[in-house]
A and B are shown apart, each in its own frame.
Chain A
Amino acid sequence: METTANAEQLVAKAQAQNLSFYYSDYQALKSINMTVHEKKVTALIGPSGCGKSTLLRCFNRMHDLYPGNRYEGGIRLHPDNTDLLSPDVDPIEVRMRISMVFQKPNPFPKSIYENVAYGLRVRGVNKRVILDEKVEEALRDAALWDEVKERLDDLASNLSGGQQQRLCIARALATEPEMILFDEPTSALDPIATANIEELISELKEKVTILIVTHNMQQAARVSDFTAYMYLGELVEFGATDQIFIKPQKKETEDYITGRFG
């Protein structure tokens, strides 16, 4: 189902290969094959319970935190062609390469500065000069610097919801990840904050590969270059966003997009 619609050079960043996932006995993902292209935004859409968040959380091995979860197949991360799901690969190493932004803003109950610096501290970076520089850069990239530069030592919980989510994006950016996973990042935000985050995502793809789960089809249409439509744990259709929204190949996709279903 590879698309050839785009003329520009596409480089694969990550490839799910026959990826299945089980919560104990329940199979939540059924043999997914999908390519995430480098420095593009790929959106996962589909009705609730279709497995889009489950798929997203495979990419940083979040499922390893809970007992009884099992992967089958693999996810190849390029350029080194590492199988992210291999038992030989430490999930912590995967999470150091691929960071994540959650559904609800989840800043740590620490200062704004420490929130952004935490990923670096985890990596053993404790020099103030380096931290200062990286924190500022990440906050600038997350379009939050101007709002918080005067009060970096304030608690993150004093920020508004939209600012908190941008802080979480800065936190994810600070460690220079190769890829960022967004799990319905605007579902807890008001329309203006949502618009800001969407704009930010479009800017971020200059630097980093983005995979985003969204329950909002218009959002997928606005921010993504590629869209995958999932239903009941299966990847129904994958392609360039324009093509998926204007001329879907499958009837199910069309029904969902046009609102007849889901």
Chain B
Amino acid sequence: MDLRDIQSIRAVIARGKRWDVIFSLLGLLALMTGVLTFVALFADMTIQGAPRLSLDFFTNFPSRRAGEAGILSAWVGTTLVMLTTAMAAVPLGVAAGVYLEEYAPKNWVTDVIEINVTNLAGVPSIVYGLLALGLFVYQFGLGQSILSAGLTLALLILPIVIVATRESIRAIPQVIREGAYALGATPWQTVRDHILPYSSAGILTGVIIGMARAIGETAPIITIGALTFIAFLPPAPYQETLPFFNFDWLMAPFTVMPIQMFNWTSRPEAAFQANAAAAGFVLVLMTLAMNGLAIFLRYRLRRNIKW
């Protein structure tokens, strides 16, 4: 073959490019499998649940009559559990991540811990449920409360928060760290003034992605004994007298969105299926909203950070 023959060069290029076309079509197909499945499911749920979506649906307690049943206790429960989860998982996860990156000596002990943390992210959520049932509900006597559920989900997303914290800390160039140390900063001053502010976008994103996962968790919440039917709200967090707020709600029984859905889907009446679809629609929207918030915060917080 004449390596300088322009015709044969073109033929070789054309043959090579054919594979580009084939692969890009296959790739597009693979991508669409996931995207279209989700879109179809979401559309189906929306169509089925749309007639039930009204303000009443959000302000009514569940009921024996499908037409009057709502998700009030479920969305309030989910919100409070998520709040508790965040309050527990963020300080623990961020502190652990900062310690591992900035303080811990690099030796085999920290290597083992590191592998363990990564593995924790793969532990099935039902296992966390069993752990929490034994530990939080019975051992610590926290009962089947919002606090138990929040702590359980916090454990579940702790590895996600730790890994996100470490990765965003690692993205900070070493010269920035050295710049702070060279001015005589202590490790804590470096962490407080530089490491945490510059990694906060990544950490927040990790936290929210973790929460978006936790919000749909059903198994561990059922395991610790969340109610499937509840027609009252936890006590209000505010009061008339000093100090004007209280944490009684932490110990209250509760239910959450996915359990409410699960409850409705297990009913034979078609009307409840519509309720389940409507609740599913709300739950997916909550998750999407959290992911949207993550993207927004990442954009806002990173705007000023350039290396």
Q: How many A-B residue pairs have CB under 8 A?
A: 68
Interface string of B156-189 (1 = CB under 8 A from A): 0000000000000000010111111111111001
**Chain B min CB distance to A250 (Å):** 33
Bitwise, A161-204 to B at CB < 8 A (1) or not (0) is: 00000001001100100000000000000000000000000000
In the assembled complex, B106 has its CB within 8 A of some CB on chain A: yes
**B194 part of interface (Cβ distance < 8 Å):** yes
Tell me, in angstroms, the Cα distance from A67 to B110 when the chains sit together: 14
CB <8 Å contact, A106 and B304 = no
Query: Do A102 and B175 contact each other (CB < 8 Å), given the known contacts A109-B198, A109-B305, A157-B306?
Result: yes
Contact of B176 among A60, A108, A119 (CB under 8 A): A108
- Cβ-defined contact, B304 with A155, below 8 A: yes
**Complex: A72 Cα to B245 Cα, angstroms:** 61
A65 close to B (CB within 8 Å): yes
Which A residues lie within 8 Å of B183 (CB)?
95, 99, 118-119, 122, 171-172, 175
Cβ 8 A contact of B181, one of A65, A104, A108: A65
Is there an interface contact between B184 and A109, defined as CB atoms closer than 8 Å? Answer: no
Q: Are A62 and B306 in contact (CB under 8 A)?
A: no
For the complex, give the distance between the alpha carbons of A104 and B183 in Å: 16
Tally of contact residues, B, Cβ under 8 A:
23
B193 at the binding interface (Cβ < 8 Å)? yes
Contact with B along A86-130 (1 / 0, CB 8 A): 000000110110011011101111000000001101110000000
Q: Is B108 an interface residue (CB 8 A)?
A: no
User: Given A99, A103, A106, which contacts B173 in the complex, CB threshold below 8 Å?
Assistant: A106
Whether, in the assembled complex, B105 has its beta carbon less than 8 Å from a beta carbon of chain A, the answer is: yes
Chain A 66-99, CB-CB to B under 8 Å as 1, else 0, gives: 0100000000000000000000000011011001
Q: How far is the CA of A108 from the CA of B307 in the complex (A)?
A: 8
- Say whether, besides A92-B186, A99-B183, A65 and B178 are in contact (CB < 8 Å): yes
| Contact (Cβ within 8 A) B184 A123 | yes
Assembly CA distance A123 to B189 (angstroms):
10
How many whole Å from A100's CB to the nearest CB in chain B? 4
Chain B residues contacting A60 (CB-CB under 8 Å) are 182
- Once A106-B173, A108-B176, A109-B305 are accepted as A-B contacts, the answer to whether A67 and B182 lie under 8 Å apart by CB is no
Contacts of A102 in B (CB 8 A): 175, 178-179, 182
Are A118 and B180 within 8 A (Cβ)? yes
Q: A96 vs B183: C-alpha distance in the bound complex, in angstroms?
A: 6
The docked-state distance in angstroms from the alpha carbon of A60 to that of B182 is 7
Going nearest first, the 7 A-B pairs with the smallest beta carbon separation are A96-B184, A119-B183, A157-B306, A106-B175, A100-B182, A109-B305, A95-B184
- 30 A-B pairs in the complex with CB atoms less than 8 angstroms apart: A62-B181, A62-B182, A65-B177, A65-B181, A67-B106, A93-B184, A95-B182, A95-B183, A95-B184, A96-B184, A99-B182, A99-B183, A106-B173, A106-B179, A108-B176, A108-B179, A108-B180, A108-B194, A109-B176, A109-B198, A109-B304, A118-B180, A121-B193, A122-B185, A122-B189, A155-B304, A171-B179, A171-B183, A175-B183, A175-B184
